[in-house]
Structure 1
Amino acid sequence: MRKSKIEVKAGTPVALRQTKKSQVLEMLNGGGVSVVAIADALSISKQAAYSLIGDVKRSGVVISGAVKDGAMHYSVVQKKKAKAKTLAFGKGASVSDAPSH
């Protein structure tokens, strides 16, 4: 069983464990990264790296690819947008400061 939180002493913040998907997203946000670089950084196969890139795409992040130094490098073009339902309930970034009627 995997634990999603790391317990620490009282008074210090609890850190969430990073998933491989979140690590791939972080690498993609940092600029062009190759599948080989992702696979090496996470100690996984190239196929698993391709799968994680697909997982990030399916979560709503727009990713582009460009050939650099003979290898495809991927990067984030557009970050995931909040869903209309999330915004309607005040959980998104564009919550109005105007009082409700």
Structure 2
Amino acid sequence: MPKSKDVAADKPQTKKSRVQELLNAGAVSVAEIAEQLSISKQAAYSLIGDVKRAGVEIAGVMKDGAMRYSTVKPKRSKEKTLAFGKGPVVSDAASAPTVAD
């Protein structure tokens, strides 16, 4: 019997996904992660590493004597710029030599 999508929605969130949500929300310290998830600081460091190994880029900033981590927002794509004709105008075709008169 195939599983329905409703079953997946009923599953509780994993600690890793909750850490990723905290990192996406803004700068958060390891102590804050540990407190919110009721885990040790070492476990919080491990979960941050798990999120990082999953391919999410994480940045750390020292603020008020504590390291605060957050996810790095991807830069805006150039699709919008290219749509308005401000992209590169170099063509792939080789240029033909010109003869001066």
Q: CA deviation at 1:17?
A: 1.2
**Structure 1 residue 61 and structure 2 residue 60: aligned?**
no
Q: Counterpart amino acid of 1:28?
A: L
Unaligned runs of 5+ in 1: 1-5, 8-12, 80-101
2:20 matched to which residue of 1? Answer: 25
Aligned to 2:38: 43
Moved over 6 A (4+): none
User: What is the TM-score of this pair, normalised by structure 2?
Assistant: 0.63
Q: TM-score, normalised by structure 1?
A: 0.63
Structure (1 or 2) with the greater strand fraction: 1
Structure number with higher helix proportion:
2
CA positional deviation for 1:16 = 2.7
CA RMSD, Structure 1 to Structure 2 (Å): 2.2
- For the residue of structure 2 that corresponds to 1:24, the secondary structure is helix
Q: 1:16 to 1:64 in 2, by over 3 A?
A: same
Aligned pair count reads: 70
- Using the alignment, how far apart are the partners of 2:60 and 2:10 within structure 1? 32
Which structure has more relative contact order (CA 8 Å, sep 6+)? It is 2
**Same amino acid, percent of matched pairs:** 64
